[in-house]
Amino acid sequence: MARTLILLFALAGTWLVWSGLYKPLLFGLGVLSVALTYWLCLRMGLLRREVFALDLVPRLLGFWASLVVDIVRSNLVVARIVLTPSLPISPTLVQLEPSLKGQVGRATLANSITLTPSTVTLDAHEGVFLVHCLTRDSACEIRDSDIGRRLRNALGDR
């Protein structure tokens, strides 16, 4: 119930901020589109407890901060590789077996790995991540990285 109210208020607020014109016709359209979006969210199962998890956001803030550091560092590495005339890449495939068990945690981990340049998750089915790395060094780095442990500290078993 609380989740429904939060979603409806967020949708209505977004509409009001974005439209900027306050006339009866636009209010009517806003009510219609909020109702349509709410129906779609229900159909997609977005209101289930483990998916609609706003309480995770404050716990993830620390993880996101550490992710930003990772992203900036690997951006610089990849930029240097691209600008080196000899293009010193050594593409490597790595299999990772994350200790995270929850769906939200696995999805967040796979997306974090993909968001970092020089590592792309290719397959995340059946509990094993297949990660493509741009260089052998980045492969070693992601294998020894504590990104999974950091995420587990933030999320627990979610």
**Would you count residue 66 as binding another protein (CB under 8 A)?**
no
Our CB check for another protein shows the closer of 1 and 72 to be: 72
Residues 94-133 vs another protein: string with x where CB under 8 A? Answer: ----------------xxx-xxxxxxxxxxx-----x-x-
Does residue number 13 form part of the binding site for another protein (CB under 8 A)?
no
Q: Which is nearer to another protein, 4 or 75 (CB)?
A: 75
- Tell me the CB-side half-sphere exposure of residue 1, using CA atoms within 13 A: 0
Is 11 one of the binding residues for another protein (CB under 8 A)?
no
Q: How many residues make contact with another protein (CB under 8 A)? A: 35
| Cα distance between residue 7 and residue 34, in whole Å | 9
Angle between helices 2-19 and 24-44 (to 10 degrees): 140
Q: By 3-state DSSP, what share of the chain in percent is helix, strand and coil, each rounded to 5? A: 65, 10, 25
Position among 9, 16, 29, 90 found at the interface with another protein (CB under 8 A): 90
Residue 63 contacts another protein per CB under 8 A: no
Residue with tokens 């999805």: 107
Distance, CA of 21 to CA of 25 (rounded, Å): 10
**Which two three-digit tokens encode residue 146?**
């504590």
Query: Which residues of this chain interact with another protein, rule CB under 8 A?
Result: 17-18, 20, 71-72, 75, 78-79, 81-83, 87, 89-93, 110-112, 114-124, 130, 132, 134, 136
